[in-house]
Amino acid sequence: MTGVTPAALFTEPASASRLERVADALSARGFAAEVLDGPDAARVRVRQLIPESASVFTSASETLRLSGIEGDINASGRYNALKPLAVSMDRATQLNDIRQLLAAPDVVVGSVAAVTEAGSLVIASATGSQLPSYSGGAANRIWVVGAQKIVPDLSTALERIEQHCLPLESGRAQALYGAPSAVNHVLVLNAEPQPGRSTVLLLRAAIGF
């Protein structure tokens, strides 16, 4: 890959046939996988998947923000949206309550840094706040994934995190919080042992980091 920039490696959307193959690989590993046209279709599908009044945690995600899914969940009044509640709580005195609140929602909605062609989901995090719900705490899990996040294997997924996602996320964090991000936690989900619990929405469009 000498001479090839991360932008060229990690921003090109996967072809329709490649997305279908990845969806089949995810399905074989127990994930419910769907291929959708783009963000608008994802917004509709996410609304269909989440029961009204469910407790829902939206993890930090440019995919959710740019698609409008974050706003649909946290501002619509249809759900018990946990992120606005957590933001309103006092981190000095209620940090443990915040951790417990976000660890086991009815539904967690987010994205991933990469999906391998074999059907593994790879997530990176600075704080780890979304990982308890992703790894097992949430009753149901939904990931919305842009077409540019498909990678051949785990080693390429880790390269994508370090070379592509981290610089972009650091820029976002610096602007918002005055400090860069870091890859402090990496979670790899290789399979879903409980059918129907986890859904991956693969988009035919590139979105997010």
Give the CATH number, domain containing residue 184: 3.40.50.10420
Is 164:104 a contact under the CB 8 Å cutoff? no
Give kind and range of the element (H or E) at residue 148: none
In a domain, 135, yes or no: yes
Summarize pLDDT for 130-142 with one digit per residue, the tens.
Answer: 999 999 999 999 9
Interatomic CA distance for residues 111 and 33, integer angstroms: 13
Site of tokens 């077409």: 147
> Would you call 78 helix, strand, or coil by DSSP?
coil
Of residues 18 and 8, more confidence is placed in 18
Closest residue by Cα to residue 45 from 68, 62, 28: 68
The answer to whether position 163 is within a domain reads yes
Q: What percent of the chain has pLDDT over 70?
A: 97
Residue 101 lies in a domain: yes
Contact 124, 114 (CB under 8 A): no
**What band does 4 get if pLDDT is binned at 50, 70 and 90?**
low
Split into its structural domains, the chain has a count of: 1
Per-residue pLDDT at 8: 74
- Cα atoms in the 13 Å half-sphere on the side-chain side of 28: 10
> What whole-number distance in Å separates Cα of residue 112 and Cα of residue 121?
7
Query: Is the pLDDT assigned to residue 6 strictly greater than 90?
Result: no
If pLDDT is split at 50, 70 and 90, which confidence band does 9 have?
A: confident
| Residue 31 belongs to a domain | yes
Q: What does the pLDDT average to over 57-81?
A: 97
Question: What's the rounded mean pLDDT across residues 184-191?
Answer: 98
Model confidence band, residue 2 (pLDDT cutoffs 50, 70, 90): very low
Average pLDDT over residues 29-39: 98
Q: Is the pLDDT of residue 22 over 90?
A: yes
Give domain status of residue 13, yes or no.
yes
pLDDT tens string 98-116: 999 999 999 999 999 999 9
- Given a cut of 80, whether residue 145 has pLDDT beyond it is yes
Domain that holds residue 109: 6-203
Mean pLDDT estimate for the chain = 95
What is the SS3 assignment for 83?
Answer: helix
User: Is 208 among the domain residues?
Assistant: no
What are 187's two structure tokens?
A: 């979670």
Is residue 209 domain-resident? Answer: no
**pLDDT tops 70 at residue 1:** no
Helix (H, G, I), strand (E, B) or coil at 114: strand
* 38 class by beta-carbon count within 10 Å (0-12 exposed, 13-18 middle, 19+ buried): middle
Nearest to 121 by CA among 199, 55, 190: 190
Rounded Cα gap, residues 94 and 184, in angstroms: 23
Task: Identify the bridge partners of residue 57 per DSSP, sorted by sequence position.
Answer: 108
Q: Which long-range contacts (CB under 8 A, 24 or more apart) does 174-181 make?
A: 181/126
Instruction: Write down the pLDDT at residue 5.
Output: 57
Chain centroid to CA 23: how far? 16
User: Is 1 part of any domain?
Assistant: no
Give the Cα separation of 66 and 70 in Å (integer): 8
